[in-house]
């Protein structure tokens, strides 16, 4: 495969990754809403819905790493790739890297928000459980 074809595949993978991350952001935000509404069945549905996208992203990441290696960019960060890329390649890569950077940052924020909501829900459950008396059957097992 020519370097041009490998580069095109590389850029397609980056665009696909951004698309998948944007879907995951929506799922994380839906997850946050469902958690705040205390809707376990919706949470379970969202977790199942996210599975294919998570697997897809992992596959795309493996492909991106392989293509980067073929282009001589093994282990390089986006900024390092840009410093090695030709001017024509930079014109294509800059917007893709920026889109992916913004999407990943948004995903991180959405995950942190969902995590905070889940911690609040867990605390609520722990509070309710701590107020319940221990059943007589289990009293002997507590030390």
Query: How do the domains of the chain map onto residue ranges?
Result: 3-139
Each of the 143 residues of the chain gets a pLDDT tens digit; together they read: 778 999 999 999 999 999 999 999 999 999 888 888 878 888 889 989 999 999 999 999 999 999 999 999 999 999 999 999 999 999 999 999 999 999 999 999 999 998 898 888 888 878 888 787 766 666 666 55
Q: Give the contacts of 110 (CB within 8 A, at least 6 positions apart).
A: 25, 28, 29, 32
Q: Of 58, 52, 51, nearest to 13 (Cα)?
A: 58
Q: Which fold has domain 3-139?
A: Methane Monooxygenase Hydroxylase; Chain G, domain 1 (1.20.58)
pTM above 0.85, yes or no: no
The pLDDT, as a whole number, for residue 139 is: 63
Q: Of 67, 82, 59, 72, nearest to 1 (Cα)?
A: 67
Q: Give the contacts of 101 (CB within 8 A, at least 6 positions apart).
A: 78
CA 122 to chain centroid, in Å, comes to 22
Token digits of residue 80: 């390092």
């Amino acid at each position: 495969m020519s370097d041009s074809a490998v580069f095109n595949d590389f850029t397609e993978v980056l665009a696909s990754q951004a698309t998948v991350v944007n879907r995951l952001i929506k799922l994380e935000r839906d997850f946050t809403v469902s958690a705040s509404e205390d809707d376990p069945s919706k949470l379970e549905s969202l977790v199942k819905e996210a599975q294919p996208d998570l697997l897809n992203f992992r596959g795309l990441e493996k492909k991106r790493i392989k293509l980067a290696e073929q282009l001589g960019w093994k282990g390089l960060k986006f900024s390092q790739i840009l410093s090695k890329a030709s001017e024509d390649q930079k014109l294509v890569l800059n917007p893709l890297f920026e889109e992916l950077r913004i999407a990943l940052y948004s995903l991180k924020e959405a995950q942190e928000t969902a995590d905070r909501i889940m911690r609040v829900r867990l605390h609520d459950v722990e509070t309710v459980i701590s107020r319940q008396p221990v059943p007589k059957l289990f009293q002997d097992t507590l030390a």
